[in-house]
Amino acid sequence: MAQNSINTNVSAYVALQNLNSVNDRLDTIQNRVSTGLKVNSAVDDASSFAIAQGTRGNLKAYEAVSQGLSNARGVATVAMSGATSISDMLGDIQKKITEGQNAGNSTEQQSILNADFVNLVTQINTFIVNSSYNGRNLLSNASASLNVIGNVDGTTLTVRSNSAFAPTAVNLGAQNISSTVAATKAISALFLAVTSINSVLGNLGADTRTLNNQDIFISKLVDATLEGLGSIVDADMAQESARLQALQVQQQLSVQTLGIANQRPQVLLSLFRG
């Protein structure tokens, strides 16, 4: 049997406890709605938060890997551009050498052709020197292969040095076409340079494709990692919205119930009215 007391209002205590419970849950839902996260800290879910923090660390590592790959791709792309320009230039040089092999050239014509030849060969060296990106040059005589981090596990990819072309360019630069005999000798040096630059283009093309493919793979890993992270910490906004509305109604009802419970002792006053 319920006790009528002005000192202990059990109904009010129950109503207050229920209101506090509703308010706590409402605060949680409002926090999820405002942040979009169901796990904001270790307080919400220690194990899930720890996993999420580790995943976020991996995402930062992937970002660093992608940045390194982009830098290496820049080095390879600039080298590829330089090698392509050199390849094109070798075609022009071959034309000049062929013209220089013509026994019908006058002395003046041969001199002009030789000057053009020397100028074109000089430009090749300029192309080599200018094929530098971020302080790295894969075409110069002293160049070294470039190693770059390819994944968060420390796997490395190598962009090969193509310094072997430089000696053939030096050999070509030592030639002249001041006579048909010299031009015939120069054509042999040219063919060596052509063979070498074709090898360079093949190496750079293969290495660049490797970098591109790895970057695409890393991008897919990032997408998959983000999806996994989202499944751990992201709140279902549709579900949270429904819960928010339900709790708001419960809050209103709890306030009304508490008000009714608090009015109960007032009823006891009627027992003492004359």
Chain segment 96-154, per-residue pLDDT in tens: 999 999 999 999 999 999 999 999 999 999 999 999 999 999 999 989 999 999 998 88
For residue 8, pLDDT over 70 is answered with no
For residue 269, pLDDT over 80 is answered with no
Q: Are residues 120 and 96 in contact, defined by beta-carbon separation less than 8 angstroms?
A: yes
Domain count, the chain: 1
Residue 31 falls inside a structural domain: no
Residue 254 falls inside a structural domain: no
Residue 24 falls inside a structural domain: no
Range of the domain at 129: 46-233
In the predicted model, what is the mean pLDDT of residues 155-184? 94
Residue 147 falls inside a structural domain: yes
Predicted pLDDT of residue 234: 78
Residue 221 falls inside a structural domain: yes
Cα–Cα distance between 181 and 163 in angstroms, integer?
30
Predicted pLDDT of residue 273: 66
Residue 7 falls inside a structural domain: no
- Exposure on the CB side of residue 240, measured as CA atoms within 13 A: 18
Residue 255 falls inside a structural domain: no
Lowest mean pLDDT among 2-6, 8-12, 49-53, 182-186: 2-6
For residue 209, pLDDT over 60 is answered with yes
Q: What is the mean pLDDT of the chain?
A: 88
Predicted pLDDT of residue 145: 95
Question: Kindly report the CA angle at 50 between 46 and 55, in degrees rounded to 5?
Answer: 150
**Which own/partner pairs from 99-102 qualify as long-range (CB within 8 Å, at least 24 positions apart)?**
100/177, 100/180, 100/182, 100/183, 100/186, 101/177, 101/180, 101/183, 101/184, 101/187, 102/180
Predicted pLDDT of residue 86: 96
Residue 138 falls inside a structural domain: yes
Predicted pLDDT of residue 95: 95
In the predicted model, what is the mean pLDDT of residues 55-67? 93
E strands along the chain, which residues? 132-133, 136-137, 146-149, 156-159
Lowest mean pLDDT among 236-240, 249-253, 266-270: 266-270
pLDDT tens readout for residues 87-102: 999 999 999 999 999 9
The first and second tokens of residue 74, run together, are 């820049």
Q: What is the CATH number of the domain that holds 92?
A: 1.20.1330.10
Report the predicted TM-score, pTM, of the whole model to 2 decimal places: 0.74
Phi/psi-derived region of residue 163, left when phi > 0, alpha when psi is between -120 and 50, beta in every other case: alpha
Residue of higher predicted confidence among 26 and 147: 147
